[in-house]
Amino acid sequence: MVQSSHSMPMLRVGHRSGSMGMTSGKDRRPMPRLPTPAQSPVAPIPELRGWELPSMERDSMTPKRRDPMMISVGDLKRVLRRQKSDIHSDVLLAQVVSPKSKLDPLLRKKERQEKRHRDADRDRGLNRGERQRLPNTVAVEEPEAVQRTPATPLKLPPTPQPNPRDRALNLARRMSGARADEMDVSSPVAHSVTGPPGKEGMNCDLPEPSKWRRGALIPSVDDCLDRLYTELVPAEDVTRMRVMFSRFAKSGFELSKDDLPEVLRHLHFFLVAADKCHQIAKETTSFDVMDFNDFQDFYERFASYERQALQMKLKRWRPVPPSKFAPPPTEHEKEMQALQHLRSLLRSFGVVCTHSTLVDIRDTAGLKQSQCDNVTALTRFLAAFRASEGFTVNEAELLLKSFEECESDLVNLGPEGRMIKVSELAKGLLNFGGLYCVDHLHALMAQLEGVFKERGHGICIFEFLVHARVLRQMELKEVADHFAALDLDKDGFIRGSDLQALMQPLGFTLLGKELQELQAAKSIVAETKLDFDGALGFVAHVRQRHGFTDAETQECMTTFERFSLGSGEMPTLQVMELLQWMGFKNRVEDVRKMVQQVDFNANGTMDRTEYLRLMRLQKESKLASYRKVYQAMSLGKSALTAELFAQALADVQLHAPPRILDDIFGKLQAEASVSAGLSWETWVAVAEHTRKLIPVENRKQATFSDLELEQLRMAFNLQGFSSGYVSMGELLWMLSDSGMPVNKASGRRDLYVSLDKARKVALESGVPPEDVGRPGSPRVRFYPVVHLVRAFLRNQEQKTYEREEAVMRAVRFSSAEIQELRTLFEKEGKEAQRELWGDEEEATKRSLGSVVRMLCQEARVPINRVILFTSRIGARIKISQKEELYTKIREISAFDPGDVQRGIDFPSFLQLMQWMVDCNFGDINSAAERALNR
């Protein structure tokens, strides 16, 4: 073909940068040029050797050299326009697209075999239930030159290649931009792809499947049937491929072969195996990465492989036959057998599905009246399962609602539709899955962390549903695995007595009383037989109740309403106060971690549901410590004495006063025999009863320790008052140096109001009325003062906490680094505080104001200790740099409400360390690297 002076755009087939994904790196060989228009389109094609052209065409080429085939886009379009009548052009077009074309003698033999199969199938006229669409490719016999000998190692069977005509149509659609439904189905290429009307066969008597589409790029059932019957790749399939390709592709827009199995799972292929993926990828390209054209080629090859493998699997798939002696099944039994048949089929693919989902997807596929015992019905069900992503219609609507509630990314008017920010994915999935999917959600987000970090563009509804399906399968498989472990006889059932063991690995250590009440709510007894759906329903019920009885839930909610003040939310410090009121000893940092652990909506506070989840975690932690001590001390086997009982409680951090211990042990001896040991249930009940009694005593003393309470009492009695109370004037004088605003009239008015509130809290905490006094009385007794000091300390802690939160958001240290810096700071602060306040003997001579200042004194590190601390971690501070450091400390401490002369607090310390790292003050960064290397 003679080139014109004005050369047209050229398309190189077989080269890496423009290969269109049609040839592998190994099989690149010179390809023929298209015939000139003067040649007859129906001229007989001479027998060729490999890729050689007829001699008359080869001789007419100028220049005379053999290069990779060059074809202009215009010539390709002219071939497409002539494809209705020009058979020869159609053959050449197929050769352009695929190196294994009809001009290859081996594939010509394959074509004749396919034609014989089709003719024999048409002549037999099989009915629809038996007739299935034959695969477009069959196994090709290897020539004698490559026949294996007994010494040749066995290799995997060759991957069937897509039909060349389908490949031609796919290439034409990619270049022209036309949709699949815009192709002329009357053309030879299109007709060879679609086959006769009805992809499921002429005799298909099944009702039409649902046409409902769940959103942009979400395929319908009919769209999914195309992948299972035809080799045509619709335009929307290409868009879905592009969405997943762009998500997993690395920088440079290339996809690693190692990521192919995960990409195919996201595209909802059923038969994804790593070895098969690598085999087909190796046949597609010899490179370790793929561009999008290579990925399209790989997709078509893998879809062809799965299509044939599924057809073979479904033809061999048979339901379990009923017993010969069993009575004829009823209609309900037939339906249950069909659903069980579908469940077993999905389990063979590693997919877990519930009964309600099976029914919904079966109805969507139009199989409500079908027994699902033939290949066509099973294929239709798999297509419907893929179209629904494994969700019912109601679940899909909830997912769409969760998606709409997420914050949008940049405006997108493309085929993907509305897109949300990557950071909103976890929030949307949590709104749908609930708080008990958090563990699996964290695992899913950890898997996708690198993917989202590399390509952080928005998420469309199609990708959102894909991630929701992956999360749902993670949850269902966890329950299914524990269910299978308890199903010892493998009949698909467990008993009600196994539910306690089922819930244990799921995070619920249910005691006898809790288990009985939860089982009664679901009408379950010990001998009840439960299938997987019944067991899953019980798991959902326990999670809804957080494993608590009605009495426990009511007690928890009463406590929550008390501290949330009716707002329905609690900040961190209120959570700490609540835990202290309940008897848990936690620091602010510990409570902050707890709040982050259950703060599923990431708003920094705790609502009712999150609070119940926290109570469950606290109870599980306590039960674990109870079990550890119970087994270590052999409480179930050895005789229980008062000393052993007190030691066991002390080992689980329950330090009750001797009076309470003697009372509990006496009641235990009267109610149960302790000579042979305690049962597990009895030990837990006694330990929990003790834990609830201890806070009652702690509440009286406003959660101060015994040492702190004694210091307050001695300071209160320091003036020598023996009547048990002081006047209001004397109290103001005693608190003058405490830091409380009592030296102004407004401060004194606030003190009067706060004192009456302290009296009310003391009464509610169990303090006798005679030790509290009347509201408004000028006589002030000891316990109201104790609760007054506690209220003042909480106010100071709130201010400190808010300042710490602001600073931690400003600095760029990680949570682990902040915790490490806090540990070092507190160590230095304790030494400084010991030097400031002296030993405990001197504490007995302090005034009430000094004790209050000591209790509310936050950890501070003097400036000279800051310099010493930086030297310890390896920073080399010169004498000339000390003045610069002093200036920076004074600048940072400008917002510190405390006494800077006594040192800096932790927020100021964090800011100082961030400044030193940023400017590498004293070469501190090199010192940190040396510490890490050690």
Task: State residue 476's pLDDT score.
Answer: 95
The structure tokens listed for 310 are 């599924």
pLDDT over 50 at 1, yes or no:
no
Task: State residue 202's pLDDT score.
Answer: 65
Task: State residue 44's pLDDT score.
Answer: 47
**DSSP symbols for 372-406:** --SHHHHHHHHHHHHHHTT--HHHHHHHHHHHHHS
Among 766, 763, 645, 762, which residue's Cα sits nearest to residue 697? 766
Task: State residue 109's pLDDT score.
Answer: 57
Q: Which amino acid is at 404?
A: E
pLDDT band at 657 (very low <50, low <70, confident <90, very high): confident
Q: What is the DSSP letter of 902?
A: G
C-alpha to C-alpha distance for 471 and 53, rounded to whole angstroms: 55
* C-alpha distances in Å from residue 415, one per residue of 5, 179, 238, 254, 327: 40, 13, 11, 22, 55
Task: State residue 360's pLDDT score.
Answer: 93
pLDDT over 70 at 93, yes or no:
no
Q: Which amino acid is at 303?
A: A
What is the tens place of the pLDDT at every residue in 417-476?
A: 888 988 889 889 998 988 888 889 989 998 888 888 777 788 999 999 999 999 999 999
pLDDT over 70 at 134, yes or no:
no
pLDDT over 70 at 654, yes or no:
yes
Mean pLDDT of the region 645-660 = 87
What is the tens place of the pLDDT at every residue in 711-753?
A: 888 888 875 556 778 888 888 888 888 878 888 888 888 888 9
Mean pLDDT of the region 874-903 = 70
What is the tens place of the pLDDT at every residue in 291-303?
A: 999 999 999 999 9
C-alpha to C-alpha distance for 711 and 851, rounded to whole angstroms: 7
pLDDT over 90 at 695, yes or no:
no
H-helix or E-strand containing 10?
strand 10-12
pLDDT over 90 at 385, yes or no:
yes
pLDDT over 50 at 143, yes or no:
no
What is the tens place of the pLDDT at every residue in 500-535?
A: 999 999 999 999 899 999 999 999 999 999 999 999
What is the tens place of the pLDDT at every residue in 264-291?
A: 999 999 999 999 999 999 999 999 999 9
Among 440, 430, 429, which residue's Cα sits nearest to residue 466? 429
The structure tokens listed for 457 are 């563009």
C-alpha to C-alpha distance for 189 and 194, rounded to whole angstroms: 9
Task: State residue 137's pLDDT score.
Answer: 38
pLDDT over 50 at 146, yes or no:
no
The structure tokens listed for 500 are 């306690």
C-alpha to C-alpha distance for 683 and 824, rounded to whole angstroms: 40
pLDDT over 90 at 624, yes or no:
yes
What is the tens place of the pLDDT at every residue in 821-880?
A: 887 787 777 776 666 555 544 545 678 888 888 887 667 777 777 777 776 666 777 777
Determine contact, residues 694/659, Cβ cutoff 8 Å: no
Mean pLDDT for the chain overall: 75
Q: pLDDT higher for 472 or 593?
A: 472
H-helix or E-strand containing 723?
none
Sign of the four-CA dihedral 526, 527, 528, 532 = positive
C-alpha to C-alpha distance for 164 and 101, rounded to whole angstroms: 6
Task: State residue 201's pLDDT score.
Answer: 67
Q: What number of other Cβ atoms are within 10 A of residue 722's Cβ?
A: 5
Determine contact, residues 367/377, Cβ cutoff 8 Å: yes
DSSP-based helix, strand, coil % in the chain, nearest 5: 60, 5, 35
pLDDT over 50 at 16, yes or no:
no
Mean pLDDT of the region 405-424 = 80
Task: State residue 660's pLDDT score.
Answer: 85
Mean pLDDT of the region 24-47 = 44
pTM: 0.69
Task: State residue 700's pLDDT score.
Answer: 85
Task: State residue 326's pLDDT score.
Answer: 67
Q: Find which of 243-257, 459-473, 576-590, 899-913 is predicted with most confidence, using mean pLDDT.
A: 459-473
Task: Burial-class residue 645 by CB neighbours within 10 Å (0-12, 13-18, 19+).
Answer: buried
Report the C-alpha dihedral over residues 81, 85, 89, 91, rounded to 10 degrees: 120
Task: State residue 132's pLDDT score.
Answer: 40
Task: State residue 714's pLDDT score.
Answer: 86
Task: State residue 411's pLDDT score.
Answer: 62
Task: State residue 227's pLDDT score.
Answer: 86
C-alpha to C-alpha distance for 254 and 291, rounded to whole angstroms: 5
Task: State residue 588's pLDDT score.
Answer: 65
Q: Which of 100-109, 312-321, 677-686 has the lowest mean pLDDT?
A: 100-109
The label of the residue with tokens 């004293």 reads 922
What is the tens place of the pLDDT at every residue in 199-251?
A: 676 667 788 888 877 777 889 898 898 888 888 888 888 989 999 998 898 87
pLDDT over 90 at 337, yes or no:
no
C-alpha to C-alpha distance for 275 and 280, rounded to whole angstroms: 9
C-alpha to C-alpha distance for 585 and 101, rounded to whole angstroms: 77
The structure tokens listed for 505 are 């690995």
